[in-house]
Amino acid sequence: MNLLHFIEQFPDEFSCKSHMKLARSKEGVICKKCQSKKHYWLKSKWMWQCSYCGFRTTLRSGTMMENSNLPIRTWYLAMAFMTFSKKGISAAELQRQLNHTRYTTIWSLMHRIRSAMGKRDNLYDLEDMIEFDQDYFTVATKESDRQKLKRGRGSQKQSNVAVMAESVPLEYLKTGKQSKQCRYFKMKVLDTHKKEEVNTLIDSNFDDTCIVFSDKSTSYVDIGDYGSVTKVVCEFR
């Protein structure tokens, strides 16, 4: 789906609310008061009401939109802009695209969406062929907190991030050339460069029968001995 298709599918607030209601109904609504799963829909109130205790659940309750005064369509548009852009989007740019007056509101919205996306990543393991490496991402630091850079891998101005990408080999029928396509990927901030932390990360995010493509960093020396990895292939880049 591109932005044009998105606007066609969600032209107004009602279409977004209807889509969200359908999605939540399929997932199932649980009463916060008695934990019952049996509800009926109050059309005039746009709420579910528990069939046992009468407790009402709003459309936003229990979601990242809870306690937000922003229109649901604003949330939908924000998610669209954040996922459509390959290079990502800043809070300032998203504020401009949404034509919103308060930067802090949009920043908080983006934080909630990213947090929800991170929780979703933990629901599944990467499988088959996985490319694993580490990289450094610049961290915004207050002027008063800046210190001299450390020597070695990375610095105090950068975060050490593990990048794990599930890749699928492709072969073009006409040319016979082979390439890879990324399906899913995860990124985790590492506190150290120790192999113990890397092993824990591997065990909690990789499928039991995966093949790992990586380099010959000393942090990865015993990945092949770990229970979650079938084979480790070292590649020189």
Q: Where are the domains positioned within the chain?
A: 35-67, 71-123, 129-138+158-234
Is the Cα torsion angle 27, 28, 34, 40 positive or negative in sign?
positive
Within the chain, what is the greatest distance between any pair of CA atoms?
A: 65
Sheet order of strands, 39-42 included? 39-42, 47-50, 56-58
How buried is 89 (Cβ within 10 angstroms: 0-12 exposed, 13-18 middle, 19+ buried)? middle
At residue 199, does pLDDT exceed 80?
no
Q: When comparing pLDDT for 6 and 181, which is higher? A: 6
| Angle at alpha carbon of residue 195, lines to 190 and 200, rounded to 5° | 65
Q: How many residues does the chain have?
A: 237
pLDDT digits (tens, 9 = 90+) for 69-119: 999 999 999 999 998 877 788 999 999 999 999 999 999 999 999 888 877
pLDDT band at 190 (very low <50, low <70, confident <90, very high): confident
Residues 36-59 as b or e (16 or more Cβ within 10 Å = b): eeebeeeeeeebbbbeeeeebbeb
Q: CATH second-level architecture of 129-138+158-234?
A: 2-Layer Sandwich (3.30)
pLDDT at residue 231 in the model: 47
- Cα separation, 149 vs 152, whole angstroms: 9
On average, the pLDDT of the chain sits at 79
Q: When comparing pLDDT for 77 and 171, which is higher? A: 77
- Cα separation, 229 vs 134, whole angstroms: 18
Range with lowest mean pLDDT among 76-80, 126-130, 141-145, 178-182? 141-145
| 8 A C-beta contact, residue 158 and residue 131 | no
pLDDT at residue 173 in the model: 64
How buried is 7 (Cβ within 10 angstroms: 0-12 exposed, 13-18 middle, 19+ buried)? exposed
pLDDT at residue 230 in the model: 46
Contacts (Cβ under 8 Å, ≥6 apart) of 209? 127, 230
- Cα separation, 138 vs 8, whole angstroms: 37
Q: When comparing pLDDT for 224 and 165, which is higher? A: 165
pLDDT at residue 54 in the model: 95
pLDDT digits (tens, 9 = 90+) for 21-36: 999 999 999 999 999 9
pLDDT digits (tens, 9 = 90+) for 37-49: 999 999 999 999 9
At residue 56, does pLDDT exceed 70?
yes
